[in-house]
Structure 1
Amino acid sequence: MKILIAGDFAPRARLAKQIEDKKFSEVFSENVREIIKSADFSFVNFESPIVETGYKPIPKCGPNLRCTKEAAEAMRYAGFTGVTMANNHILDYGVDGLHRSVECCKAQGLDIVGVGENLHDAEKVLYLEKKGKRLAVINCCEHEFTIATETGPGANPLNPVRQFYAIQEAKKNADYVLVIVHGGHEMFQLPSPRMVETYRFFIDAGADAVVNHHQHCYSGYETYKGKPIFYGLGNFCFDKEGLRDCSWNEGYMVELSFSDVITSNIYPYCQYGNKPTIELLDTTAFDNTIAELNLIISDNNSLRAKITEYYKNCKNNELSRMEPYSGRILNKLFSLGLLPKFISGQKAINILNHVDCEAHRDKLIFALRNK
């Protein structure tokens, strides 16, 4: 059984116009389509909700993505058989956008996993069968503004305890278990130690493979106890003005072959750089970068050193979010050290305690959500 997984699909800028005009052959090169269609099942992350006139964006951090109904048709044209929807944008236009996305994708015959009318519905395992073998697909995402609740629609949240039970259920009902996660640090090509620990735990719990996307750049991979873990696929089709020929524009699809031994192939590509299309990439430079990333991932000390360096570079930007400055300009000035700090000493200790301690964090999250 061959399964292909691709990263984030979000029609913006040049891509949005091509999708709306149904110029799908301009978007997907024929060799990319052939790879997608060669798999028994293939999934792409449907990052943008389908939005109609009158839908209202939700209040959140970051952009509210949107696309038109032709996006679902484009996924079918490309050769995908399903979409993952547990991501940080699927509720950008509220329940209406989520429902319309599900409706349009189902109309194209696409399997859907990772969202639902409530938490129980969103975490349902998707089962697929081929030639007498059964695959279970679990899709979840880190907590942002799209998470389903006990009573409300949304995405399946990353929760290792709940995923443990989902994997246990899946192992009883399927021959193979695939976990697809949407998470990680944006524009950083390495997983955090937390991600490594969590995804290895999923393998220990019984998953046969774990695949991650979200970071808008590709990461490396490893084989853990004979099972593959891919830490970041990069964007699949996600055009963004001002980003050309950089890590944003490169990624890879991963093809998993499930049998007694699980094997994988990766297909690197360039997407929406100077050319408004996705096409396979010459692998020489890509292979060198992947090898470097894999080497770092394989060594805990090297990985921790890299993530610590990254966190240090992010420190002032993160602290600016808790200072009494609003707006991008003031936050930037603070990050550059041009504005004074107001949170320090005991105040900083109190905040750290409320973020770090599970019991305090529960109360803090409730207070912020119900302010």
Structure 2
Amino acid sequence: MSKNKVRLFICGDFCSTPSSSFISIASDLRSLIDSCNLKICNFEGPVKSDGRKLNKIPPNIQQHPDVPDFIENMGFNVISLANNHAFDYGDDGFLATQRAFRKAKVIGAGTFDEAYKVEITEVNGISIGILALTYASFGAWDLSTSKFGCAEMDHLRVNHLILETKSKVDYLFIYLHDGIEYIDIPLPEQRERYRDFVDYGADGVFVHHPHVPQGWEVYKGRPIFYSLGNFFFNSKNTPDYKTSKRYWYNGLAVVLEIREENNSLKFEVYNILNDRNRKISIDTSEKMLIHTTEICDLLKESKLYEPKVRQETDNLWKTKYMGGMVSSLVAVGLRTNFLGCLKSVVKALLSNNSKLVYSYIRNKNHRSNVIRLLREIQKYR
């Protein structure tokens, strides 16, 4: 590798509940990974251990104990644990996972200082910082409930940390677990926040969690990848399991190249294919080339993007929020104040007033207080 440049390989989520002995890596993909200095992935789900299952929205995921060695042997040397499954089996599961990586740097989770530590590496005279974050999920860092947690993207520390770190390094990248699962676009609020990272000094933002690829754009000369999708993800007990979810087996990998002599930052994007939970390879199919072009085009034109946002929002309300959120609130109400909850349900049926719930969710103080109360009632971590 040239002494005046640095190459980074950045991909999305990795999970394998079955043994990694079932998985092979295509030679061209392995060569691409080997050509890079820093190789980064998100390890989603702790290794199997004696840890107790966390009380959270399922599924609770565990990975086979041989997976960390497999990932390190593949060449990955920076591993993020900042995700919504890192603490699925409590602190013991997290600590077992942290110990399982013997060579790679593990980032994004731990004590408060560990979780919010920027991993700084100097390669060929170029200093690079990587900050791993997650959305406010189960396991996100909370001083009042645990010794350990994940770095949370909207914590007040984050913007200050970006400013402080950028003054010490040549390049700073945000590696983030966030977004809405299984949809082709980021929501407007996500785009605003990721651009905010760049405004504070980040040189690129790379997102995972939706489990499908989303588009990317260049903002103020810096790349924002809204979802890298899955690099490899099989959380079932058999390698023969196959999901019907669209684009579950398709992901993106980004190779960043930084050249010292002209202070340039360039990137190339590769489509990644998980072939039947057996082989990970570079996907050169016309189908995926067309799809990635389409999801990027959605971000460029408001006449395409805004109707798509409305469509996805309506669909999420019907399939996810309306039934799940309402039934959950009623269940909590019945447990804590049976008669009061019944009266509220009857009143809601008669009045058809949706203004109150909008007001409480929209108001940050009410929203925070409802979260605090629900956490205490449910004894969530």
Given the two structures, how large is their TM-score scaled by the length of structure 1? 0.88
Q: Equivalent residue for 1:186?
A: 181
| Within-5 A mapping of 1:71-220 | 71-105=67-101, 107=102, 109-118=103-112, 120-150=113-143, 152=146, 153-159=148-154, 161-220=156-215
Q: Equivalent residue for 1:9?
A: 14
Q: Equivalent residue for 1:296?
A: 298
CA distance 1:162–1:308, change in 2 (3 Å): farther
Secondary structure at 1:165 match in 2: helix
Measured after TM superposition, the shift of residue 160 of structure 1 is: 6.6
User: For 1:267, which of 270, 275, 281 is the aligned residue?
Assistant: 270
Alpha carbons 2:51, 2:91 under 8 Å: kept: no
User: For 1:369, which of 359, 365, 375 is the aligned residue?
Assistant: 375
Alpha carbons 1:37, 1:80 under 8 Å: kept: no
Q: Equivalent residue for 1:360?
A: 366
Q: Residues 260-316 of structure 1, C-alpha deviation per residue, up to 9 Å, x if partnerless?
A: 22111112121043x621112124222211111111112234322211111111213
Letter in 1 for 2:143: E
User: For 2:223, which of 196, 216, 228 is the aligned residue?
Assistant: 228
Alpha carbons 1:193, 1:304 under 8 Å: kept: no
In the alignment, the residues of structure 2 paired with residue 166 and residue 323 of structure 1 have an alpha-carbon distance, to the nearest angstrom, of 38
In the alignment, the residues of structure 2 paired with residue 230 and residue 50 of structure 1 have an alpha-carbon distance, to the nearest angstrom, of 28
Matched, 1:349 2:355: yes
In the alignment, the residues of structure 1 paired with residue 166 and residue 309 of structure 2 have an alpha-carbon distance, to the nearest angstrom, of 34
Q: Equivalent residue for 1:333?
A: none
In the alignment, the residues of structure 2 paired with residue 7 and residue 91 of structure 1 have an alpha-carbon distance, to the nearest angstrom, of 19
Which one has more relative contact order, counting CA pairs under 8 Å at least 6 apart?
A: 2
Secondary structure at 1:233 match in 2: coil
In the alignment, the residues of structure 2 paired with residue 73 and residue 347 of structure 1 have an alpha-carbon distance, to the nearest angstrom, of 55
Letter in 1 for 2:255: E
Matched, 1:38 2:35: yes
Q: Residues 103-127 of structure 1, C-alpha deviation per residue, up to 9 Å, x if partnerless?
A: 111x2x1011111213x43111110
In the alignment, the residues of structure 1 paired with residue 124 and residue 38 of structure 2 have an alpha-carbon distance, to the nearest angstrom, of 12
In the alignment, the residues of structure 2 paired with residue 294 and residue 321 of structure 1 have an alpha-carbon distance, to the nearest angstrom, of 31
Measured after TM superposition, the shift of residue 154 of structure 1 is: 1.0
Count of aligned pairs between the two proteins: 345
Q: Equivalent residue for 2:341?
A: none
Matched, 1:27 2:24: yes
In the alignment, the residues of structure 2 paired with residue 207 and residue 160 of structure 1 have an alpha-carbon distance, to the nearest angstrom, of 16
Letter in 1 for 2:110: G
Measured after TM superposition, the shift of residue 323 of structure 1 is: 3.0
In the alignment, the residues of structure 2 paired with residue 75 and residue 10 of structure 1 have an alpha-carbon distance, to the nearest angstrom, of 10
Measured after TM superposition, the shift of residue 346 of structure 1 is: 6.1
Q: Equivalent residue for 1:256?
A: 256
Measured after TM superposition, the shift of residue 349 of structure 1 is: 2.7
Letter in 2 for 1:124: K
Letter in 1 for 2:375: R
Q: Equivalent residue for 1:51?
A: 48
Alpha carbons 1:176, 1:258 under 8 Å: kept: no
Alpha carbons 2:107, 2:114 under 8 Å: kept: no
User: For 1:277, which of 274, 279, 282 is the aligned residue?
Assistant: 279
Letter in 2 for 1:322: M
Q: Equivalent residue for 2:338?
A: none
Alpha carbons 2:115, 2:150 under 8 Å: kept: yes
In the alignment, the residues of structure 1 paired with residue 326 and residue 156 of structure 2 have an alpha-carbon distance, to the nearest angstrom, of 34
Letter in 2 for 1:263: K
Letter in 2 for 1:255: V
Given the two structures, how large is their TM-score scaled by the length of structure 2? 0.85
Q: Residues 56-80 of structure 1, C-alpha deviation per residue, up to 9 Å, x if partnerless?
A: 1101112000013211101111111
CA distance 1:246–1:277, change in 2 (3 Å): farther
In the alignment, the residues of structure 1 paired with residue 185 and residue 123 of structure 2 have an alpha-carbon distance, to the nearest angstrom, of 34
CA distance 1:10–1:314, change in 2 (3 Å): same
Gaps of 5+ in 1: 328-340
Q: Residues 192-234 of structure 1, C-alpha deviation per residue, up to 9 Å, x if partnerless?
A: 1111111111111111111001111011111111111111111
Measured after TM superposition, the shift of residue 347 of structure 1 is: 5.8
CA distance 1:272–1:48, change in 2 (3 Å): farther
State the identity %. Answer: 26
In the alignment, the residues of structure 1 paired with residue 161 and residue 306 of structure 2 have an alpha-carbon distance, to the nearest angstrom, of 30
In the alignment, the residues of structure 2 paired with residue 270 and residue 244 of structure 1 have an alpha-carbon distance, to the nearest angstrom, of 15
Letter in 2 for 1:357: N
